[in-house]
Structure 1
Amino acid sequence: MTDAVQFDVSRARILLMGLVLGPLMTAAAVLVLVAAVVPTAVPWLAPMSPILWLLYVVAGVAGTAFFGFTTVAWLMLLRGPGPRLVVDAEGFTDTSSAVSSGRTTWDQVVGWHLHHVQRQTNLCIVVQDPQAVLGRMGPVARLLSRSNVKLVGTPVCIGLNNLGGAEAVLPAFEQHYDQWVRENAGTTEV
């Protein structure tokens, strides 16, 4: 039996996202909302038409909620000690983001693929029952993970850039999954 492989999230990236980029984007969204609600407070940004006013309100509320949530989520990653992704003989445990799937056992895994969005590489784990995975998530994570199901076919997506990249993580998945298949006389191929 092979040992578990552990991956930590880059603390420098957490600090950048949680203490710099997140608050800046939240402040920008709040500024747009203030410009819509109190145009005299930010005269250079005041909306010039009712449609633009509506766009400001929607963008301001949505941006404040989204970027505020993600800022808090990034900062919460600093609190918890220990690895954020553990791959072992029975499956893997992902706690590397606000939409992490938690524990997934190899018997739930159907396959996986990489998905690239701009500079971010995600390991998308295809599971037998996506609804069961969604059911064990919190409401915000469930909402965001439903988007993953529509985009990549699964709610289990692990951002690899924060964990050392695909070159580090994929061999651990392949080794442990292949070992599980051999030990359980499975015929599932990835």
Structure 2
Amino acid sequence: MDKIVIKQNQLKQFSLLLLSIIMVVSSVFVFFINMPIFGITFVSKIIGAAGIIFFGAASIYIIKCFIKPKAVLVIDRNGITDNSSAVSIGFIPWHDIKSVYIKDVLNESFICIDVENIEEKLKGLSSFKKNMIKRNLKTGAPPVSITLGSTSYKPEKVLEIIKNYKEVYNQ
């Protein structure tokens, strides 16, 4: 079986880019109007500036992803590499995967992976990723939650592929 690389869908990235630009323009508008919010005029400046900074940074990130779509998930004979979110663990060999399943949260489906020796996996990660994953674990969430929202792949199909690869290469 060949390596499968699941990349971001450029049409979805373009749609996100348009939305982020609209939000930047809206934030600029809020910044420059002198309308009192909650009876205070400078609140619009604060809200507008925060929106410009946040959505401006998001726009830059989305432009980068649009120009060069990243591999969200790589599945090969050695295991899987998850790059689907800011707190992704990265590479997980087949022998470290205990179970794989789909979990629906707020109208989005995630491919969830229970991993052997999660503490070992966390050692090589940044402190930000470690803390976020530990917080997720405290809420009962699995250590790995792969989102395919930026791709054109259905979670059920990817789950089937992962299970097939695990069955073949986890010997």
Alpha-carbon shift at residue 146 of structure 1 (Å): 4.7
Residue 120 of structure 1 contacts residue 160 of structure 1 at CA under 8 Å; is this kept in 2? no
- Aligned partner letter, 1:48: G
Q: TM-score, normalised by structure 2?
A: 0.70
Give % identity. Answer: 23
- The aligned residue for residue 186 of structure 1 is none
For residue 35 of structure 2, give the secondary structure of its aligned residue in structure 1. Answer: helix
User: What CA deviation, in whole Å up to 9, does each residue of 1:10-57 have, x standing for no partner?
Assistant: 11111212x12234445556766x4xxxxxx433353326xxx6xx96
1:87 aligns with 2:78: no
- The aligned residue for residue 168 of structure 1 is 157
Relative to its length, the structure with more helix (as a share) is: 1
Consecutive unaligned residues in structure 2, runs of 5 or more:
none
Alpha-carbon shift at residue 111 of structure 1 (Å): 1.6
- Aligned partner letter, 1:176: Y
Alpha-carbon shift at residue 169 of structure 1 (Å): 0.5
Q: TM-score, normalised by structure 1?
A: 0.65
- C-alpha distance in 1 between matches for 2:98 and 2:55: 33
- C-alpha distance in 1 between matches for 2:2 and 2:74: 10
Computed over aligned residues only, the root mean square deviation of the Cα atoms, in angstroms, reads 3.7
Alpha-carbon shift at residue 164 of structure 1 (Å): 0.5
Deviates more, 1:156-165 or 1:141-150: 141-150
- The aligned residue for residue 13 of structure 2 is 14
Consecutive unaligned residues in structure 1, runs of 5 or more:
35-40, 184-190
User: What CA deviation, in whole Å up to 9, does each residue of 1:85-108 have, x standing for no partner?
Assistant: 211222111234443332111222
Residue 160 of structure 1 contacts residue 169 of structure 1 at CA under 8 Å; is this kept in 2? no
Residue 8 of structure 2 contacts residue 69 of structure 2 at CA under 8 Å; is this kept in 1? no
- The aligned residue for residue 42 of structure 1 is 33
